[in-house]
Structure 1
Amino acid sequence: MPTPSPAPGPTPSPAVVRVADVPGRVAATLDAMGDVLDELGGLFAEAGEELALVGGPVRDAMLGRSHHDLDFTTSARPDVTERLLKKFAGGATWDMGRAFGTIGARRGDWVVEVTTYRSESYDPSSRKPEVDFGDSLEGDLGRRDFTVNAMAVRLPGREVEDPFGGVVDLVQQVLRTPGTPEDSFTDDPLRMMRAARFAAQLGFDVAPEVVTAMTAMAERISIVSAERVRDELVKLVCAPYPRRGLALLVDTGLADHVLPELPALALERDEHHRHKDVYEHTLTVLEQAIDLEHRLGDGPDFVARFAALMHDVGKPRTRRFLDDGTVTFHHHDVVGAKITRKRMKALRFSGDEIDAVAKLVELHLRFHGYGTGEWTDSAVRRYVRDAGDQLERLHVLTRADCTTRNRRKAERLRRTYDDLEARIERLSEAEELASLRPDLDGNQIMEILGIGPGREVGQAYQFLLDLRIEEGPKSADEARAALLAWWEQRAV
């Protein structure tokens, strides 16, 4: 595990909520949304229908956070909702969620989704929920995942409805279900994943009875579609406190079904016999990668985070005990890349995401051979070439992949990677490494060799590319001479 990152800063604490603060926070946040809330509330009231703001926007209003993506629930059926939203948004509506009672609309920066009161449950053998429309706001709130998401603001009057004690749980920073967790997870097993996701997003604890039910019912997550599981996993990994959510998945056994490579790491000790097993090391690498992702731009970077989470998943299959008592994990980078591809395909990630994460896993040990700077320029070029468009993420992952407590070693490794990055920058300025190509293109190769399109052109192109990596840029005459010499030698 070669490279260090700066010591991480203190983990931010979840927002503190006092009961006395809630009315003022809610009023101020709702005022910021006032034009939208009042207009929509008026439209539905004039049509004889109920409308309420629900879910995350209400929860976050109590935390003093405003939204531009708003969720509503209504007594209106989808056809009526669609007609009213067209008045609100001037026709900019969509109905992809009609089967679930949801119609969406956009007006300016505001995105709204309005869903008919409903209840839903899973058939024990089905991957898709069965949807039944409900007839009351309280009934709709009762089928929601957690009490902190089961609060509503009736419109247009802005009365707060909290039938299940969501405000108290928000103040106590705990996730509970409106009814029994067993009933809730039977209705929709994905809520078990959502418990881990909200723990990661909000930094809240999960009530003991909820953890107990998750543990007992973990296998039921297998009936949920891979796409829905994937989406929850992405949100969890990109949350402010991903360790909380991932640890909950592992501790309850849910990870055995959705990401079994993660709990498998808890059985392995790292090759240096340090105080942390590979599982703990992995979570630390993830947190250190998060501390460094400002290098990649604004916001969470899922590819970098997931690569940090998966970088050592090849270790369980490659562990070998030597006669002197040491442990090796030779080629765990290559094996881990294959395991990563298989898992991400099973979770229905896109090909681009799979390629990016797998490449980072495969390359995460490459710097280990750099030593104290012995690499030739050609080796540096190859490092950049192999990383391709993932080079900046590779910098982050490689720096994060050091959890040593030896300050002297950490500082030495940091300086060494600083040196490698400086060499890459110098060579990039001189040679345009990011767009590394042979000194002759395909048309020039065919003209010089007197051949047409075909496999031989590709072979000549690869020869010139390897020559460019090994020896740096050449003039057109030098490249022509090298190509002809290679061609003649090939014909012998």
Structure 2
Amino acid sequence: MVHLFDSSALNSPLPDVIPELGARFEAAGYELSLVGGPVRDLFLGRVSPDLDFTTNARPDDIIRVIKGWADTFWEIGREFGTIGMRKDGYQVEVTTYRADAYDPDSRKPAVAFGDKLEDDLFRRDFTMNAMALRLPSMELVDPFGGARDLHAGMVRTPGAPSTSFSDDPLRMMRAARFASQLGVQVAPDVFEAMREMAGRIGIISAERVRDELTKLICGKAPWTGVDLLVESGLADHVLPEVSALRLEIDEHHRHKDVYQHSLTVLRQACELETGSDGPVPAPDFVLRFAALMHDVGKPATRRFEPNGSVSFLHHDGVGAKLTAKRMKALRFDNDTTKAVARLVELHMRFYGYGDAGWTDSAVRRYVNDAGPLLQRLHRLTRSDVTTRNRRKAERLAFAYDDLEQRIAALAEQEELAAIRPDLDGEQIMALLQIRPGPVVGRAYRFLLEERMENGPRSEAETAELLHAWWADQPENPIAGTGTIPDTTERESREQPEAAGPNEKDSKK
């Protein structure tokens, strides 16, 4: 299907780089078409900063056409027929028509260049991405009904789904990602192929799976994409901990469906994200993934109690370890892994506050343990309330409101965001007349504990506490006497080198 594209329907005009590049290729005697995601996005009323083009020109020809026009270009993808460039802030890739042949046991294609645009479109993942805009004539080429499927909100493949997924199994995860990002559904034959071929995802590298999963979680409706992964069986291979949440409901229905609860928590966490100027700008992967994974420790800790109840003792700690293990397997970076696992570990900390109340010391510990994750923890904890019991939900919300007010009130009096002892490492060594070493760290931790328990003190009061602690330490020559030793003469004889405090101790 070929017809002129009505650019007047766009919410914003096409970037100048698109017709300019089309004119250059036409003048050089080559075909050029905008293709794939950028064309799909035109139908969705948006223009991507990343523009993909396809052409019958070979890589050397592409370079000759764009030299002197592109701001810069690179040849990293030359082997696959791709030349990348940057022009007026847009990242552009121009790729020679492809007709790839795939090894069933490998994602790496044997590259074969093609000569026809339609053949290139046929090898693409889904019909909505198999549309092209010929340039500079602005003819829409849509041989597989991509515009129709996009309008219907349906994910279909240009050819047989089994062939498409055999060529590149990652396309199965991409279907779930589109469900999350675009709010579309997969066609029945596409879902059936996903279900039958889910195991083939195992040949895809962990890094590529991670990248698709990240995009899915950061989509408009990630719970939809996750559900598709689980129902198709893909999650059994990439997120088995989430699949395991579908605990069998026992005949007495003594506990709720943990899997559906987790999807609800994920949705509610998304709703609590803030705008770009807020403390948790959407989309926040760390908060969202922690919401999805927060209960993954429950299957391993589930116990049926004699009174008929079900317990999941320590599922928070177990879940944090399982989450970290899965994220490491998917090659997530250390900082992201630690942040998500920490939120999972802390998500139960609040419970009990409403019944027993917390001392100021407990509030300080809560803030200190959360550290920079506090705003995310607030949202995760609130999202974890999915009970239909209105009175219980209101009681928990009131209790958390009270906790946040307590945190705010203490923050006005103390530096809760960066709680430190009232003496630093240099001061500790000067007062105790000791050199850098493990004792300084122990003293620092002692003072930090005092700070947590009793709030800030004056420097004189803290020095007195420190001397009392030092009097009972085994390193003190007269430990247990309560007397502060005069070590000035000994230190003078040793003539220690000038040394700063242990950096890690003094900045905890």
2:64 pairs with 1:64: no
> Which residue number corresponds to residue 19 of structure 1?
none
> Which residue number corresponds to residue 221 of structure 2?
241
> Which residue number corresponds to residue 84 of structure 1?
65
Structure 1 residues 119 and 464, CA gap change in structure 2 (3 angstroms): farther
Bigger mean CA deviation after superposition, 60-69 or 80-89: 80-89
Q: Are 2:266 and 2:383, in contact at CA under 8 Å, matched by a contact in 1?
A: yes
Query: What are the residue-to-residue correspondences of 1:23-172 with 2, within 5 Å?
Result: 24=6, 26-29=7-10, 32-90=13-71, 92-172=72-152
For residue 357 of structure 1, the aligned residue among 317, 340, 348 is 340
Opposite residue 112 of structure 1, the aligned amino acid is: V
Opposite residue 318 of structure 1, the aligned amino acid is: T
Query: What are the residue-to-residue correspondences of 1:140-289 with 2, within 5 Å?
Result: 140-267=120-247, 276-289=256-269
**C-alpha displacement of 1:114:** 1.7
Measure, in 1, the Cα distance between the counterparts of 2:111 and 2:255.
50
Structure 2 SS opposite 1:48: coil
Structure 1 residues 132 and 335, CA gap change in structure 2 (3 angstroms): same
Q: Deviations over 1:288-317 (max 9, x none)?
A: 000001154433000100000000000000
Measure, in 1, the Cα distance between the counterparts of 2:290 and 2:338.
11
Opposite residue 145 of structure 1, the aligned amino acid is: D
Q: Deviations over 1:304-332 (max 9, x none)?
A: 00000000000000001111111100000
Q: Are 2:254 and 2:309, in contact at CA under 8 Å, matched by a contact in 1?
A: no
Structure 1 SS opposite 2:351: helix
Query: What are the residue-to-residue correspondences of 1:264-343 with 2, within 5 Å?
Result: 264-267=244-247, 276-294=256-274, 296-343=279-326
Q: Are 2:350 and 2:381, in contact at CA under 8 Å, matched by a contact in 1?
A: yes
Measure, in 2, the Cα distance between the counterparts of 1:420 and 1:120.
59
For residue 435 of structure 1, the aligned residue among 418, 421, 433 is 418
Measure, in 1, the Cα distance between the counterparts of 2:222 and 2:187.
18
> Which residue number corresponds to residue 6 of structure 1?
none
Opposite residue 26 of structure 2, the aligned amino acid is: A
**C-alpha displacement of 1:43:** 1.5
Structure 1 residues 49 and 23, CA gap change in structure 2 (3 angstroms): closer
Opposite residue 70 of structure 1, the aligned amino acid is: L
Opposite residue 172 of structure 1, the aligned amino acid is: A
**C-alpha displacement of 1:359:** 0.2
Measure, in 2, the Cα distance between the counterparts of 1:343 and 1:142.
35
Structure 2 SS opposite 1:199: helix
> Which residue number corresponds to residue 5 of structure 1?
none
Opposite residue 90 of structure 2, the aligned amino acid is: W
2:403 pairs with 1:420: yes
> Which residue number corresponds to residue 449 of structure 2?
466
Bigger mean CA deviation after superposition, 229-238 or 367-376: 367-376
**C-alpha displacement of 1:269:** 5.2
Structure 1 SS opposite 2:112: strand
Measure, in 2, the Cα distance between the counterparts of 1:298 and 1:458.
37
Opposite residue 170 of structure 1, the aligned amino acid is: L
Structure 1 SS opposite 2:105: coil
> Which residue number corresponds to residue 381 of structure 1?
364
Measure, in 2, the Cα distance between the counterparts of 1:428 and 1:95.
54
Structure 2 SS opposite 1:437: coil
Structure 1 residues 413 and 35, CA gap change in structure 2 (3 angstroms): same
Structure 1 SS opposite 2:111: strand
Measure, in 1, the Cα distance between the counterparts of 2:47 and 2:315.
45
> Which residue number corresponds to residue 449 of structure 1?
432
Q: Deviations over 1:384-441 (max 9, x none)?
A: 1110111110001000001111112111111110111111111112111111111111
**C-alpha displacement of 1:62:** 1.6
Measure, in 2, the Cα distance between the counterparts of 1:109 and 1:222.
37
Structure 1 residues 129 and 447, CA gap change in structure 2 (3 angstroms): farther
Structure 1 residues 273 and 481, CA gap change in structure 2 (3 angstroms): farther
Q: Are 1:218 and 1:253, in contact at CA under 8 Å, matched by a contact in 2?
A: yes
Bigger mean CA deviation after superposition, 238-247 or 188-197: 238-247
Opposite residue 60 of structure 2, the aligned amino acid is: D
Structure 1 residues 128 and 412, CA gap change in structure 2 (3 angstroms): same
Measure, in 2, the Cα distance between the counterparts of 1:225 and 1:250.
20
Opposite residue 417 of structure 2, the aligned amino acid is: A
Structure 1 SS opposite 2:457: coil
Measure, in 1, the Cα distance between the counterparts of 2:205 and 2:469.
54
Q: Deviations over 1:186-217 (max 9, x none)?
A: 11110111111111111111111111111111
Measure, in 2, the Cα distance between the counterparts of 1:128 and 1:337.
35
Measure, in 1, the Cα distance between the counterparts of 2:350 and 2:65.
59
Identical counterparts, % of pairs: 63
Bigger mean CA deviation after superposition, 410-419 or 132-141: 132-141
Bigger mean CA deviation after superposition, 218-227 or 409-418: 409-418
Is the helix fraction higher in 1 or 2? 1
Measure, in 2, the Cα distance between the counterparts of 1:94 and 1:274.
61
TM-score (normalised: structure 2): 0.88
Bigger mean CA deviation after superposition, 289-298 or 47-56: 289-298
Structure 1 residues 478 and 214, CA gap change in structure 2 (3 angstroms): same
Measure, in 2, the Cα distance between the counterparts of 1:487 and 1:171.
74
TM-score (normalised: structure 1): 0.91
What RMSD, in angstroms, separates the aligned Cα atoms of the two structures?
Answer: 2.0
Q: Which runs of 5+ in 2 are unaligned?
A: 474-478, 481-508
Measure, in 1, the Cα distance between the counterparts of 2:411 and 2:66.
53
